[in-house]
Amino acid sequence: EVQLVESGGGLVQPGGSLTLSCAASGFRFSGYWMNWVRLPPGKGLEWVAIIGRDGSEKYYIGSVEGRFSISRDNAKNLLFLQMNNVRADDTAVYYCVGGAGYLFDFWGQGTLVTVSS
């Protein structure tokens, strides 16, 4: 059974940092592109970042470029999102999403990040 389990969410102050993790199981992790997608409260879904199978390709939405960094450890089946200089509008449920190419095939349950002083 495919499983993606996010962790690391919580309350963080504006300007602070947070690292999200996603533990993958039930599929060949290294064979899939991986993403972070977020759902801000009361708003719609927003794709945040994607990383290629070997980690050499990375793309970000403009609003997080230079502040967030996506990475992966294929030996440990882990995906990460390093979030720096966070802002109030980064408040959201963050989902770990895997897929073949740019398709979003499977999703985790999400982890809540709240940016507030």
Partner 1 sequence: DIVMRQSPDSLAVSLGERATINCKSSQSLLSESKDFLVWFQQKPGQPPKRLIYWASTRDYGVPDRFSGSGSGTDFTLTISNLQAEDVAVYYCQQYYSEPLTFGGGTKVEIK
Residues that bind partner 1 (CB under 8 A): 35, 39, 44-47, 50, 59-62, 95, 101-105, 107-110
Nearest CB to partner 1, comparing residues 23 and 39: 39
- Using the CB atoms, write b or e for 81-96: b if 16+ within 10 Å: bebeebeeebbbbbbb
CB of 117 to partner 1, least distance (A): 27
Nearest CB to partner 1, comparing residues 32 and 60: 60
Nearest CB to partner 1, comparing residues 42 and 117: 42
With CA atoms as reference, report the closest residue to 113 among 4, 33, 37: 37
